[in-house]
Amino acid sequence: MPGFTAIAASQLARLIGTPDAPALIDIRTEEDFAADPRLIPGAFRHSYDRIDSLAPELTGRHAVVICQKGQKLSEGAAALLRCHGVAAESLEGGALAWAAERLSMIPAAALPRSRLWVTRHRPKIDRIACPWLIRRFVDAEARFLFVAPAEVSAVADRFGATPYDIEGVPFSHRGEKCSFDALLDDLCLRSEALDRLALVVRGADTDRHELAPQAAGLLAISVGLSRQYRDDLAQLEAGMVLYDALYRWARDGFEEGHDWPATRKT
């Protein structure tokens, strides 16, 4: 059992990928990080001796502090944040405990330098699914630019944004797989739940509804959202709710069916 001011890796893993996920602060020393330069999904690096500087932006939020072993650095940093009114905990056992449970970790070298992303305007399936994945598992503060298709590459160059879901860039379609798959592969985010969701996204995005029975429904809802919203950013926010629900289905509810009345004869 973790202490009153700590959270177990298994408990934290259930929160990551959901709207209720805490801010994850990796304060491992440079030496410890160099020994395993990977991040827990959604975590960002910060120096333990400047932890107070984060307090203003974490006010009213839940935070989890991660060091190598879950001892003095994360205990002390979390305690300092609590002095500023932040609901902060340390990760029990630290990054070593997380890795020992073989939970997903993102290679730091695979992460784009920019927190800004750009793709074609009027997004539908892949171009909404990818931002959802990025915000829920990579960078909660990521921003997304939706521009004319012909201008995506130039906007990426001029504004230092990472392009996705266009031809000739790393995060795009590869063979029969789509951009969502490329992100999962390159960022080492594969899991049973995300693989199940990826199959639905792939089937809907490439018009292969035989891959998953849910694909046709995702296409229909995605087309409906694109007709409902003229503002691409408003559509993205609505799509976040959709993919939050799909992820919980893929993780916890995929075996559940529904029929009425329950006594109906087939």
- Reported as a pLDDT band with limits 50, 70 and 90, residue 4 is confident
246-257 pLDDT, tens digit each: 999 999 999 999
Q: What is the mean pLDDT of residues 4-20?
A: 96
Backbone dihedral region for residue 257 (phi beyond 0: left; psi -120 to 50: alpha; all else: beta): beta
User: Taking 70 as the threshold, does the pLDDT of residue 125 lie above it?
Assistant: yes
Question: What is the C-alpha separation between 61 and 87, in angstroms, rounded?
Answer: 6
Contact 163, 118 (CB under 8 A): yes
Question: What is the C-alpha separation between 7 and 13, in angstroms, rounded?
Answer: 10
Q: How many CB atoms lie within 10 A of CB 106?
A: 20
- Reported as a pLDDT band with limits 50, 70 and 90, residue 259 is confident
68-122 pLDDT, tens digit each: 999 999 999 999 999 999 999 999 999 999 999 999 999 999 999 899 999 999 9
Helix residue spans in the chain (DSSP H): 9-15, 30-35, 55-58, 72-83, 94-100, 125-137, 152-159, 179-186, 192-205, 215-228, 232-248
pLDDT for 261? 76
- The full set of domains in the chain, from first to last, is 6-106 (3.40.250.10), 112-253 (no CATH)
129-141 pLDDT, tens digit each: 999 999 999 999 9
137-185 pLDDT, tens digit each: 999 999 999 999 999 999 999 999 999 999 999 999 999 999 999 999 9
Percent of the chain past pLDDT 90, that is, above it, reads: 94
pLDDT for 65? 98
The sign of the dihedral angle between the CA atoms of 199, 100, 113, 42 is positive
Percent of the chain past pLDDT 70, that is, above it, reads: 97
pLDDT for 195? 98
Among residues 153, 134, 128, the alpha carbon closest in space to that of 41 is found at 134
- Reported as a pLDDT band with limits 50, 70 and 90, residue 22 is very high
266 or 188, which is more confident?
188
Per-chain mean pLDDT for the chain: 96
What pTM was computed for the model? 0.95
Question: What is the C-alpha separation between 27 and 106, in angstroms, rounded?
Answer: 16
Coil, strand, or helix at residue 179? helix
Q: How many CB atoms lie within 10 A of CB 34?
A: 9
Question: What is the C-alpha separation between 186 and 175, in angstroms, rounded?
Answer: 15
Contact 184, 164 (CB under 8 A): no
pLDDT for 266? 56
User: Taking 80 as the threshold, does the pLDDT of residue 186 lie above it?
Assistant: yes
Q: What is the mean pLDDT of residues 232-242?
A: 98
pLDDT for 264? 65
User: Taking 90 as the threshold, does the pLDDT of residue 260 lie above it?
Assistant: no
Residue in the structure block whose two tokens are 């990080």 = 33
pLDDT for 43? 98
pLDDT for 265? 63
